[in-house]
Structure 1
Amino acid sequence: MTEQEGQQVPLFSFGVISDVQYADIPDGTSFHGVPRYYRNALVALQRAVSSGWVPAGVEFGIHFGDIVDGFQARDGQEKSEQALSDVLQAFSQLPHPTYHMLGNHCLYNLPRARLNKRLGITPLLDPAAAAEGASYYAFSPHPTWLFVVLDAYDVSLLGWPDSHPRHLQAEALLAQHNPNKEKNSPEGLVGVARRFVKFGGGVSEAQLAWLEQQLQAAKQRSQNVLVCSHLPLLPDTCPPACLLWNYEHVLQLLRQSGVVVATMAGHTHQNGYLVDEAGIHHLVLPAVLETPPGRDAYGTVEVLADRLLLKGVDTCMSAVVKLSAEAVQRQQAVLQRLAAAGAAAALGGDLQEVQQQGFAESAAAAAAAAAGGINGAASAASDLVVEVADEQQQQQHLGKAGAVSAAAAVAEQLQAVNLHAS
């Protein structure tokens, strides 16, 4: 079905899955008696990627942490490395990147630096985060969007040497807020105070400053933002013990920015979904680990002109995240600029000249400019490639044909956004 018949064409799409927690050990249960299917988790992941994400044509995947279960570490680091290799091999069935974040079970198995390297996080780090040995980063899968990946264990007893400042900070926080001798226990703690447990964590002041910078930059670029974290950020989307330690500070930054559309998290092993007072959607994904054999727990997300469409499979919930009018307008502004630039390339002029001619005076005009130059310019470029014998000139014309094709794609996306901006 075409968009004219009622179905939008996504700007892009991606796969989501959480808490694979594979281990090459017999099945067991959680501390609460919930069955855990350690070896089947790998089978379920393989099916999610090969039978779900690949046929859906997603551009990338996101795993929300806890890639190998902590019990695997009992058999030594070599077994942890092998289990991680098995899981990464399953993800490699997708011929596109999968983005990862650290969970507590990751840190039970391997050192932070090793995880950053093997999960492909190291090349994504900015210099400050890399120097700290942290694991937070951001990437832009489309000009209209920025994805921010938090390191929820930046301040934690896990993953840092005992003498590290972040370990010492975590130690002090737990001593202040959790009187239990066993710091993994929230016994006696009430409400959101139950989050102060050893298997939790928080973000550092340095990461908060970085997050604020990322959000400000996104606002300047008219980008919408999706925030990813292993630990959930909003009470009532999860049991209190699963919340990020300093979730309030993170939420304050997200709400003040005005550009965050949604957050997504894992860790709880349960579906969760709420919209907060600022209109930010908070989604929490279930665990592959606790999905019985033959069942599934993953989804795909289509990013459309006016919403995000989470298509959950089996035990994974589905959700429609409607974009605010402001979010739609931000997408429109970015695509308008791209359409103007594409029109300039397609018509052989520069961007300033195209803008002066009025091609970018409005979103509709920019789309018309790009679309108007598409057929004729593409045909002309194709004809010239056939006629020109010089190889270098052929490459130049092929480059122009590519620019025209890109302009066409941007114009199509802009026209879709325009339908929902008025």
Structure 2
Amino acid sequence: MMPATNGLVHAYAKKPLFSFGVIADVQYADIPDGRSFLGVPRYYRHSISVLQRAVSTWNKQGNIKFSVNFGDIIDGFCPKDKSLWAVQKVLDEFDKFDGPTYHMFGNHCLYNLPRSKLVDLLKMPTDSDRAYYDFSPCPEYRFVVLDAYDFSVLGWSRDHPVTAAAMKLLDEKNPNTDKNSPDGLVGVDRRFVMFNGAVGKEQLSWLNDVLRDASERRQNVILCSHLPMDPGAASPAALMWNYDEVMAIVRQYNCVKACFAGHDHKGGHSVDSHGVHHRTLEAALECPPGTTAYGNIEAYPDRLLLVGSDRMADTEMCFQTM
């Protein structure tokens, strides 16, 4: 386990307020193993076994209140005529968990199915077709699930105004013919590729309202997004397009303690200049047979403790006192 971030021995509460399960980037497909564009092996059929072991472990522990799936439920290489079948096959495994699972969109989800279909399939707790929401498992904590592809070229119809506006932004930021290529882009500008996206204006306003309310209630907030929001916790090409706008809102309040994400399969952890922890979770997809990557997070009044399995690193995230 990683040491406490401030190097001190704390008189921690013995029992967490609650615990929840986490898994990211299952990217299941009934196809032979392959490799990423960087040459990293991908185990498309084995990834569902990682999920099965995660659910079995969470159920055996008996104290996992809910689980969070950080997107990319199936892979973009999944044959389109099998997309619905593959999504349902993965969701059937989540349904074996003895509690609710909260989902979010990933780019691979949107390669396969339209947004409106996914909102229903993933049973997102919203009163509309929007894919962002919040929930509170106990009075001390609030979870905010962002839709990182609210503003993107993925998931919307080709003639939708959002598609046109997002494509215009990409054309301005990325001169490459292949908009999935960050070649020639420098530093965090490498994030302006087609497989990323942004939080739209309406969602930004909603986020501000939620954080204001959480701050007034003195709640600890955990932000969940498929796309990472700190350069220290992910490669530049994996970042949300407007992570800076989101974090500008976060910094108006002191309630956000951690931001969790998927997408960048190798994982990462950083603490930003305002003391917010950023933890990008290691991908289930890149687990060779016999290995796993999932975890459970224990939530205490003053810290979070990620207990990872195998390829998912344990991480202790102590909150800064303000």
1:222 positional shift: 1.4
Change (3 A) 1:151 1:6: closer
How far, CA to CA, are the matches of 1:6 and 1:283 in structure 2? 21
Task: Determine if contact 2:296/2:307 at 8 Å carries over to the other structure.
Answer: yes
Tell whether 2:305 aligns with 1:309. yes
Amino acid at match of 1:293: P
Amino acid at match of 2:104: M
How far, CA to CA, are the matches of 1:224 and 1:165 in structure 2? 36
Match of 2:97 in 1: 94
Task: Determine if contact 1:15/1:300 at 8 Å carries over to the other structure.
Answer: yes
Q: Deviations over 1:203-256 (max 9, x none)?
A: 111110000000001111111100000000001211111000001000111111
Match of 1:51 in 2: 57
1:293-372 aligned at under 5 Å gives the runs 293-326=289-322
How far, CA to CA, are the matches of 2:62 and 2:302 in structure 1? 20
Structure 2 length normalisation: TM-score? 0.94
Q: Give me the identity figure in percent.
A: 52
Tell me the number of residue pairs that the alignment of Structure 1 and Structure 2 aligns: 312
Task: Determine if contact 1:152/1:231 at 8 Å carries over to the other structure.
Answer: yes
Tell whether 2:245 aligns with 1:269. no
Amino acid at match of 1:235: P
Match of 2:255 in 1: 259
How far, CA to CA, are the matches of 2:258 and 2:57 in structure 1? 27
Match of 1:231 in 2: 227
Q: Deviations over 1:327-372 (max 9, x none)?
A: xxxxxxxxxxxxxxxxxxxxxxxxxxxxxxxxxxxxxxxxxxxxxx
What SS does the aligned partner of 1:300 have? strand
1:323 positional shift: 2.3
How far, CA to CA, are the matches of 1:277 and 1:182 in structure 2? 34
Match of 2:21 in 1: 15
Tell whether 2:104 aligns with 1:108. no
Task: Determine if contact 1:306/1:322 at 8 Å carries over to the other structure.
Answer: yes
Task: Determine if contact 2:18/2:63 at 8 Å carries over to the other structure.
Answer: no
Task: Determine if contact 1:53/1:300 at 8 Å carries over to the other structure.
Answer: no
1:25-174 aligned at under 5 Å gives the runs 25-72=31-78, 75-77=79-81, 79-121=82-124, 124-126=125-127, 130=128, 133-174=129-170
The unaligned stretches of length 5 or more in structure 2 are 1-10
Q: Deviations over 1:68-91 (max 9, x none)?
A: 00111xx234x1111111111111
Match of 2:5 in 1: none
What SS does the aligned partner of 1:216 have? helix
Q: Deviations over 1:373-406 (max 9, x none)?
A: xxxxxxxxxxxxxxxxxxxxxxxxxxxxxxxxxx
What SS does the aligned partner of 2:316 have? strand
Amino acid at match of 1:12: F
1:56 positional shift: 4.8
How far, CA to CA, are the matches of 1:259 and 1:305 in structure 2? 12
Amino acid at match of 1:262: A
Residues 49-58 or 187-196, more deviating: 49-58
What SS does the aligned partner of 2:262 have? strand
How far, CA to CA, are the matches of 2:34 and 2:17 in structure 1? 42
Q: Deviations over 1:166-225 (max 9, x none)?
A: 211211110110011110111110110010001110011111000000000111111110
What SS does the aligned partner of 2:233 have? coil
Tell whether 2:203 aligns with 1:207. yes
Amino acid at match of 2:103: H
How far, CA to CA, are the matches of 1:8 and 1:305 in structure 2? 11
Q: Report the RMSD for the aligned CA atoms in angstroms.
A: 1.4
Within the candidate set 217, 221, 227, 1:221 is matched to: 217
The unaligned stretches of length 5 or more in structure 1 are 327-422
How far, CA to CA, are the matches of 1:316 and 1:65 in structure 2? 16
Amino acid at match of 1:59: K
Amino acid at match of 2:67: G
1:6 positional shift: 7.4
Task: Determine if contact 1:8/1:304 at 8 Å carries over to the other structure.
Answer: no
Tell whether 2:285 aligns with 1:284. no
Q: Which has the higher helix share?
A: 1
What SS does the aligned partner of 2:212 have? helix
Task: Determine if contact 1:54/1:94 at 8 Å carries over to the other structure.
Answer: no
